[in-house]
Chain A
């Protein structure tokens, strides 16, 4: 330990602490034995500490006389103490405080309402997200069944009975317009399939192909055409007579369905 380090360590201590430190710190005791100046300084500080301790001990029992206590207590008794202001009762609350309470309650109610609405909307959104994946397969799976059950394919067209043809013939020309709307371009593909399938029953259209969603997409039009009787497999007696039919044509040029008008 150098003299500088010794001074830095000893500067912050009072004489009593220095005495304790000297006995506790081996480095300090060694340094004070080796360095005469530091040893002398430490000894003087220890002596000062002892002298201050003597002074402290000689005045430790000193205190103010009884007359001081009497004077102070007399002053206390004559002192007028103002009571601490009591908490104001509720009815004495100012209007501004009541108004602030009103707004406070309103704020709490608004927060509660917002929370309820948020929970409701969140549950609704969660429900909506959960529902579509379970419904879409059902629709897509159901559509082909309806088509298969309600639509007579092209191969079966030769077996169309005259009864069916008669029923088709009774349909009015207005139904063609309705069909045009029913096979509009913006409808989903499954709806197209369903509409074609259901028109067999309701409008008399006969599907001429299986409407795969990839094939039957796009715009469709109903065109009234005059076809040779042989083209639709009419009887031999009527083979030379033209047949008026409504034909559903897709934007790819393929015929989706057909209805015999006359």
Chain B
């Protein structure tokens, strides 16, 4: 694993090239660098940890088999991985009839959610997170992709456009529309939560 640590200086493109030449350390380094983002994208899109793990595994299997088709001139490796993950998420949700998954995000058994110093503040944050996630999952797919990539994965508009295969202007308009929809959903579903009453503007924190 020392070799994997030494590969942290390499770019994604270099690691991919070495991995496709049979270098396991390079593939391991690339996996550990990018699997978290792929997993979270699938998790935010589907609301299911199981689907997210399946998608993550499928994405890197695809990279092993079809990685030579990657063209660096068309975008970064991360955008390429998000594009592949997007297709696998869509496929998994069609297969699992996951409308139920979309409207009910997974119950958090994550230790990070219960380590707040203030229990009341922790509960409020947990409720806010759940309400927002539910609203995100209820968005149409195109808008949800834009929100997940730009607001939750913190990709730039250009990177999101590469991942989704569309123009930057399309990302902007989808985001604007998605934000309007999210505000309305939060005002209707959880008006007392986090100040989305519609009448008074109150800060969350």
Contact = CB atoms under 8 A, between A and B. Distances in A.
Contact of B24 (A64, A69, A76): A76
A50 B22 contact: no
Interface in A95-142: none
B172 A77 contact: no
A72 B61 contact: yes
Given A47-B203, A79-B64, A58 B112 contact: yes
Contacts of A52: 132, 147, 151-152
Contact of A54 (B27, B36, B128): B128
B39 A63 contact: yes
Contact of B113 (A47, A58, A69): A58
B201 interface: yes
A50 B203 contact: yes
A54 B128 CA distance: 7
Contact of A76 (B40, B64, B112, B129): B64
Contacts of B9: none
B61, B129, B186, B194 — most chain A CB neighbours (10 Å) = B129
Contact of A14 (B21, B52, B61, B150): B150
A156 B21 CA distance: 110
Nearest to B22: A81
A58 B40 contact: no
A55 B132 contact: yes
B172 A43 contact: no
Interface in A13-35: 14-15
B103 interface: no
A77 B195 CA distance: 53
Interface in B24-68: 24, 27-28, 31-32, 35-36, 38-40, 43-44, 49, 52-53, 56-57, 60-61, 64-65
A79 B133 CA distance: 38
Contacts of B128: 51, 54-55
B31 A79 contact: no
Given A58-B110, A61-B112, A62-B110, A48 B35 contact: no
Contacts of B52: 62, 64
A75 interface: yes
A176 B158 CA distance: 103
B24 A73 contact: yes
Interface string B130-159: 011100100000000001001110100000
A75 B152 contact: no
A230 interface: no
Given A64-B56, A69-B31, A71-B57, A56 B151 contact: yes
Contact of A58 (B36, B108, B150): B108
A43 B22 CA distance: 53
Given A50-B205, A58-B108, A64 B36 contact: yes
A64 B179 contact: no
A55 B61 CA distance: 29
B39 to A, nearest CB: 4
B136 A55 contact: yes
A62 B49 CA distance: 9
B196 interface: yes
B131, B187, B201 — most chain A CB neighbours (10 Å) = B201
B152 A51 contact: no
A11, A15, A56, A65 — most chain B CB neighbours (10 Å) = A56
A187 to B, nearest CB: 77
* Interchain residue pairs A-B with the least CB separation, the first 5: A43-B201, A81-B22, A50-B204, A63-B36, A64-B56
Interface of B: 19-22, 24, 27-28, 31-32, 35-36, 38-40, 43-44, 49, 52-53, 56-57, 60-61, 64-65, 108, 110, 112-113, 125-126, 128-129, 131-133, 136, 147, 150-152, 154, 172, 175-176, 179, 182-183, 186-187, 194-196, 201-205
